[in-house]
Amino acid sequence: MDATSFKKDFPALRNTDLVYLDTAASSLTPTSVIKQMNEYYEHYPVNVHRGVYKLSFRATEMYEAARNTIAEFIGATFEETVFTRGASSALNLVASAYGLTNLKEGDEIIVSELEHHSHILPWQNVAKKTGAKLIYVPLTPAGRITVDNFKHVLSDKTKMVVLTHVSNVMGYETPIENIITLAHAQGAIVSVDAAQSVPHKPVDVKKMDCDFLAFSGHKMCGPTGIGVLYGKKHLLDDLEPIEFGGDMNDNVEKYDAHFKDTPYKFETGTPPIAEAIGLAAAIKYLRSIGFETIYAHENHLKEKALDALEKLEGITVYNPGTDTGIITFNLDGVHPHDAVSFFDEDNIAMRAGHHCAQLVMRFLDVPATLRASFYLYNDEADVNRFIENVKAARAFFTEVGF
């Protein structure tokens, strides 16, 4: 894939020497997405569902068309696709609406040390409030979740399995389909954090057979402020909403109310209208390139970068077997925040810190790491700049006594 030709689609990359390697946190936004959102604000910038005039009808039409696009994209139905403020909001909805209602003392929730805080903290809360117990899948020495290790913790007490599809730090893909099959055989429900997988590869929720799955718009060329929760319809139908207000009810009496059917009962207030429209545009943009093409391209760049890093001294790569475009590493003896500031001097944008995954940092026995993540708008020139800066940073910090 000639990524250079795609750079022109992203305003942030025009007329600049920026090397953007922080897609795992947030991707850049192409013109086609911005244009579609601007069209909403310029031509029909009104609320949906409640207005009985032409502009509102147009806004509603575009908003619900976006839901159809997004549902079809992951193999879901319209009713199974809930808009939220982000992946974190979606994952919290599952924990609060399903976990707090259905779990009890003695039940077990299988989790992993690879989870983003937005997938572990809600279930810590559920465990504290219900008396359920968190059970951690043992990781391999490399930091992977395996089917065999999952089998060791699965039991008849397992009621919930809460796992990432792709780790935002290690870049490892969880063998999620096999795990879901085993979990369902025990009668457990499975929630999948797909924030790092949906932007990079085809994900079909029916084929996966997950019960819940969440992802966000801002990691896949879409806008901030929108996430998607997929849930099997019979599960969503049984859940009570956790937020209450306008547009999520059919009828309100003095002492009771009747809520709308899913997905609307989970979407109180003015929804993320422009954001939903923008996310649908992002999906269309990514599909025009092809996810197989994108996945192969970013893995080619990752392998080129890893090959070069392996030849350098004073560098520790924590995930040399990464399955995705994520490389997590450190300059030995140098705090990641110092190192990332050096990279920024040459306009290379990278992430440094614990990446909202402190359990991974404890597993690696480090306080923080550097993380470079590649996407469709990166090219080999970006990899070369990155490697040259790693060399320069290593030389600089050695010279000043780090």
Q: For 242-270, what is each residue's pLDDT tens digit?
A: 999 998 888 889 999 999 999 999 999 99
| Stretch 97-106: mean pLDDT | 98
When pLDDT is cut at 50, 70 and 90, the band that residue 3 belongs to is low
Q: What pTM was estimated for this model as a whole?
A: 0.96
Q: What is the pLDDT of residue 211?
A: 98
Residue 151's identity, in one-letter code, is K
Residue range 72-81, pLDDT digits in tens: 999 999 999 9
Q: Which two tokens stand for residue 361?
A: 């940092």
Alpha-carbon torsion (70, 73, 77, 83), positive or negative: negative
Token pair 């924990």 in the structure block, residue: 95
Q: What is the pLDDT of residue 400?
A: 82
3-class secondary-structure state, position 60: helix
| Stretch 375-388: mean pLDDT | 97
| CA pair distance 307, 305, nearest whole angstrom | 5
Measured N-to-C along each axis, helices 54-74 and 273-289 cross at an angle, to the nearest 10 degrees, of: 40
Domains of the chain by range and CATH?
32-287 (3.40.640.10), 290-399 (3.90.1150.10)
Question: Nearest CA to 147 among 133, 137, 158?
Answer: 137
| CA pair distance 191, 177, nearest whole angstrom | 12
| CA pair distance 353, 336, nearest whole angstrom | 7
Q: What is the pLDDT of residue 401?
A: 73
Q: Are 152 and 398 in contact (CB under 8 A)?
A: no
> Which secondary-structure segment (H or E) carries 36?
helix 31-43
CA-angle at 168, arms to 201 and 318, nearest 5°: 115
Query: Which residues are catalytically annotated?
Result: 356
Helices (H), 44-116: 54-74, 87-93, 100-102
Neighbour-count burial of 272, counting CB atoms closer than 10 A to its CB (0-12 exposed, 13-18 middle, 19+ buried): buried
